Amino acid sequence: MNKKKKIYVIINPVSGTSSKQGLPTKIAQALDPHKFDVHIFITGYAGHGSEIASQAIKDKVNYVIAAGGDGTVNEVARTLIGSDIALGIIPMGSGNGLGRELNIPTDAKKALAVIMEENVVSIDYGKANGHIFFCTCGVGFDAVVAEKVSGKKSRGSLMYVKNMFESFIEQKSETYEIICPEGTIKDKAFVVTCANASQYGYNAHIAPHADIQDGLMNISILKPLTILDVPQTTVQLFTRNLDDNKKMIELLTKEATIKREKEGIMHIDGDPIQMGKEIHVIIIPKGLNVLVPKNPPKKHPLDPQEIILNILRSISK
């Protein structure tokens, strides 16, 4: 008789945008009790998810499932780095950056079905001055937006676009020097994003060709924009066509140092943080095991007309 595989499920009841009230029941119904020994934990305070994940490593469980928003998922993922445990994700936030990148359905039942498939792969992660990220980190406009939306209760694509427009007026392009083994670029930029994955979250693809398993990062450098550039750039961002933008430069590298004129805000997977004038970013290959679909659906770009309508709706609010 095969030994049951042990699963710890970590549910953050207050993170994300979806109610978790019926989630334990869905988990009990979805995960075969003859195959899995399931333990459900509800977090009660900041850092509790990390504590549970640390205990899971000591208990040598097979899978740890994080149910919540990006903060919960990233907190658990950071703790599991370097362990033999595979991370499962039930995305219940608005951005769902890592979940979307890994093709995890946002429907809880479908996400649980992915876990049942037990398809484990290893993905890369990054460090920016020692701070761990899985999708992106960056300076410039995206960091300003991250600071603006931080702590807001209302989340979603429309909110994200709305804050992009509001921040555009405030943002001033800086001169950045990006130094990597492949060469050096020094220029004014609106955005400098180091992308381990293709997107921030919200289906906003800053580096359409980034691969979370290739051991490299795509550095997206977007040169200063005028107000006339914004509609096209926004459409390209949400339709995975930003590489067609004439003001976009991309570098592919394992590590880089970003030098800027002054210290200030940087974002780490969408979370704003104060950082110095010099930032060292590196990718660590195959550092985290994750549960992903065996046969992920093909990605279809969003309808550009619908994106434009969403922008207009957000401005009018």
* Neighbouring-strand partners of residue 183: 180
Report which of residues 18 and 136 the model is more confident about: 136
- Which is nearest to 121 in space by CA: 191, 213, 39, 44? 213
Angle subtended at Cα 144 by Cα 105 and Cα 135, rounded to the nearest 5 degrees: 35
Rounded mean pLDDT of 256-279? 96
Is residue 305 pLDDT above 70, yes or no? no
Q: Which two tokens stand for residue 45?
A: 């305070």
Rounded mean pLDDT of 279-304? 85
273 vs 29: CA distance, rounded Å = 40
**pLDDT at position 74, please?**
96
Provide the strand spans (E) within 155-254.
174-180, 183-189, 191-195, 217-222, 248-253
Is residue 167 pLDDT above 90, yes or no? no
DSSP secondary structure letter of residue 243 = G
Rounded mean pLDDT of 199-218? 94
Q: Which two tokens stand for residue 200?
A: 């921030």
Cβ neighbourhood burial of 200 (10 Å; 0-12, 13-18, 19+): buried
Q: Which two tokens stand for residue 22?
A: 């019926």
Q: Taking every pair of C-alpha atoms in the chain, what is the biggest distance, in angstroms?
A: 66
